[in-house]
């Protein structure tokens, strides 16, 4: 596992926020039976996690800016560094007591994502990557899968929720096109976990539209450091600004992009 000072800062922040989320996750099952439901509780858990991450990272690296799911953009005195923070990726899973969610932290330096941490407190799975240093899962080096054809592959995707009706028709077309070529398709419900699965070789590819930069920033550097390819759905490098992503090894990434374009 990477032992740099930067990675120590990022993993320590993730672990501290993760302890709170793990405790809160244990309460969700009890809240399911209440009339009010767990929605307000989960929102509070999300905000508590973000505050912990903000406080810990600000203390360790004063002056760095932030781009956060809940708190939005916070400009720092250091204009060259920005943290991308998702304190609870997979909120719907968390809400329903499904242990597939994560804290995602990425560092952008001079316009490039140079480090990422994805941590699932429910399973204690830690994924880390730093530019030029490789990608690791619980201290073991990660590599993307070696499968060469979509027919042999498992591909993850994001399904647009009820509030994103404008994306539904396009997704249905893309799903039909990929189903016709792909061995298996999965919807895990957390973009950070999807990208960690690609980096670790468990999933062969992944695509999604309407995704936020804090959802995918850590996963971008993780897949690349694991030997994979990550682009927007046009094959370019504007994933964070265009809110879309496609990832996989070289062959699967190319075939998946081709299937999506034809859709």
pTM: 0.94
Cα 135 off chain centre by: 14
Read off the pLDDT of residues 200-237 as tens digits, 9 standing for 90 and up.
999 999 999 999 999 999 999 999 999 999 999 999 99
Distance CA 136, CA 32 (A): 35
pLDDT value of position 162: 85
Give the C-alpha separation, 55 to 9, whole Å.
Answer: 12
* Full strand arrangement of the beta sheet holding 140-141: 72-74, 64-68, 78-89, 102-109, 112-120, 125-130, 134-137, 140-141
Residues in CB range of 71: below 8 A, 6 or more apart: 50, 54
Residue 69, marked binder: yes
Q: Does 3.40.50.300 match the CATH number of domain 5-141?
A: no
The DSSP result for 164-210, as a single string, is -GGGHHHHHHHHHHHHTT-SEEE--S-HHHHHHHHHTTSSSEEEEES
pLDDT digits (tens, 9 = 90+) for 113-156: 999 999 999 999 999 999 999 999 998 999 999 999 999 999 99
Q: What is the mean pLDDT of residues 55-75?
A: 95
pLDDT for res 31: 62
| Residue 244 labeled ligand binder | no
Residue 86 in marked binding region: yes
Percent of the chain's residues with pLDDT above 90: 84
Domain map (residue ranges) of the chain:
5-141, 150-262
For 150-262, CATH number? 3.40.190.80
**Angstrom distance (rounded) from CA 247 to CA 225:** 12
Do 5-141 and 150-262 show the same overall fold? no
In whole angstroms, what is the distance from residue 247 CA to residue 157 CA?
Answer: 10
Pairing of strands 154-157, 205-209: parallel
Catalogue the E-assigned strands of the chain: 64-68, 72-74, 78-89, 102-109, 112-120, 125-130, 134-137, 140-141, 154-157, 184-186, 205-209, 229-231, 244-248
Rounded Cα distance, 216 and 218, in Å: 6
Closest CA to 164 of 96, 212, 202: 212
Name which of 94, 106, 72, 129 is nearest 21 in CA terms: 94
Is 125 labelled as part of a ligand binding site?
A: no
Which of 136, 84, 89 shows the shortest CA–CA distance to 112?
A: 84
Structure tokens at 199: 């980096």
Helix (H) or strand (E) holding 40: helix 39-60
């Amino acid at each position: 596992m990477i032992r740099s000072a930067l990675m120590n800062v990022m993993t320590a922040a993730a672990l501290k926020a993760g302890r709170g989320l793990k405790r809160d996750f244990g309460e969700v099952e009890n809240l399911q039976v209440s009339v009010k439901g767990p929605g307000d509780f989960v929102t509070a858990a999300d905000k508590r996690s973000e505050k912990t991450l903000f406080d810990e990272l600000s203390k360790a690296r004063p002056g760095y800016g932030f781009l956060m799911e809940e708190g939005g953009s916070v400009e720092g005195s250091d204009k060259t560094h920005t943290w991308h923070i998702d304190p609870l990726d997979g909120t719907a899973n968390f809400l329903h007591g499904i242990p597939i969610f994560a804290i995602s932290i990425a560092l952008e330096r001079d316009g490039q994502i140079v480090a990422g941490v994805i941590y699932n407190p429910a399973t204690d799975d830690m994924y880390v990557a730093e530019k030029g240093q490789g990608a690791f899962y619980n201290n073991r080096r990660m590599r993307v899968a070696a499968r060469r054809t979509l027919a042999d592959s498992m591909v993850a995707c994001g399904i647009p929720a009820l509030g994103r009706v404008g994306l539904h028709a396009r997704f249905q077309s893309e799903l039909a096109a990929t189903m016709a070529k792909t061995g298996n398709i999965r919807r895990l419900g957390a973009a950070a976990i999807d990208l960690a699965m690609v980096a670790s070789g468990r999933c062969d590819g992944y695509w999604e539209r309407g995704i936020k930069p804090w959802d995918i920033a850590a996963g971008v550097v993780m897949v690349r450091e694991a030997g994979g390819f990550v682009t927007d759905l046009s094959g370019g490098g504007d994933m964070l600004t265009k809110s879309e992503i496609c990832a996989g090894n070289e062959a699967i990434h190319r075939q998946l992009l081709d299937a999506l374009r034809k859709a």
